[in-house]
Amino acid sequence: MKFFIDTAEVSEIKKWADYGFLDGVTTNPSLIAKSGRNFLDVIKEICDLIDSPVSAEVAALDHDTMMKEAEVLKEIAPNVVIKLPTTLDGLKSCRQLTAMGVKTNLTLCFSTNQALLAAKAGATYVSPFIGRLDDINLDGMHLIRDIRRVFDNYGFGTEILAASIRTPNHVSDAAIAGADVATIPAATLEKLAKHPLTDKGLDAFVADWKSTGQSIL
């Protein structure tokens, strides 16, 4: 499974890219607002840092303006992926951008039918939002499993990008369910390698090694 980081903070992207397991970045208007920075500057800076896919979201709700915004965004760098809402206007824009060879990410997907439409529109990625479904007492992971099954039934190439990830369990469960990508906030990435038994085991190894009085170097 590929790991994207879900952030508009360039310092976080740099940190996780340096570990070598970052396969892309997703941003959204809320993350841009939180950064307090100019949207186009942030996307340019991220694309200067990494060659992998960087999702930049249109702000418009209508097809014509979405296409105009996509024109601006796609010129920033070849690795920009145009993020569109999973609405009829977003799907229409997806179809046209796909025909132009532009990569797309259909966001705010909350149902199997929306994912099916995204695949039929030729989307590169579809982003089912796990956490926001869990928030309203529905089962986000169930949606990932259903979409995986439907895409496999028909051989759709659209990648399932598990989004709205809130916990380490969301990451492992999405991997088990067959998501192609998970976009993960930095705080959750931080927790993935943590295990109390790893820490406890290391404490013991460090103490025992010290007692030998030896040095490898």
Interface residue with ligand E4P among 122, 131, 168, 178 (CB under 6 A) is: 131
Torsion angle, alpha carbons of 202, 2, 25, 119, to 10: -150
- Rg over alpha carbons for the chain, rounded to the nearest Å, is 20
- 């060659």: which residue's tokens? 51
186 touches 10 (CB < 8 A): no
Among the listed residues 144, 132, 211, 208, the one whose alpha carbon sits nearest the alpha carbon of residue 174: 144
Distance in angstroms (rounded) separating the CA atoms of residues 123 and 115: 9
Our CB check for ligand E4P shows the closer of 114 and 164 to be 164
Active-site residue identified among 74, 83, 103, 210: 83
Site string for ligand E4P, 56-85 (x = CB under 6 A): ------------------------------
Q: Least distance in Å: CB of 162 to ligand E4P?
A: 9
Among 2, 44, 95, 132, indicate the residue that binds ligand E4P (CB under 6 A): 132
Q: Tokens 């439907």 identify what position?
A: 150
Among 93, 104, 127, 158, binds ligand E4P (CB under 6 A): 127
- Is residue 104 at the binding interface for ligand E4P, with CB under 6 A as the rule? no
Does residue 178 bind ligand E4P (CB under 6 A)?
Answer: no
Residue closer to ligand E4P by CB (options 74, 164) is 164
Q: Which is nearer to ligand E4P, 53 or 63 (CB)?
A: 53
Query: Smallest distance, Å, CB 83 to ligand E4P?
Result: 7
Window contacting ligand E4P (CB under 6 A); options: 44-52, 73-81, 128-136, 174-182: 128-136
Task: State yes or no: residue 158 binds ligand E4P (CB under 6 A).
Answer: no
From residue 108, give the alpha-carbon distance in Å to each of 15, 57, 126, 163, 209.
27, 11, 9, 9, 51
| Cα 36 from Cα 24, distance rounded (Å) | 22
Active site residue 83: yes
Look at residue 144 and give its three-state secondary structure: helix
Looking up tokens 């986000």 gives 140
Under 8 Å between Cβ of 164 and 108: no
Q: Which residues are catalytic?
A: 83
Chain residues that interact with ligand E4P, rule: CB under 6 A? 6, 26, 28, 107, 127, 129, 131-132, 163-164, 183
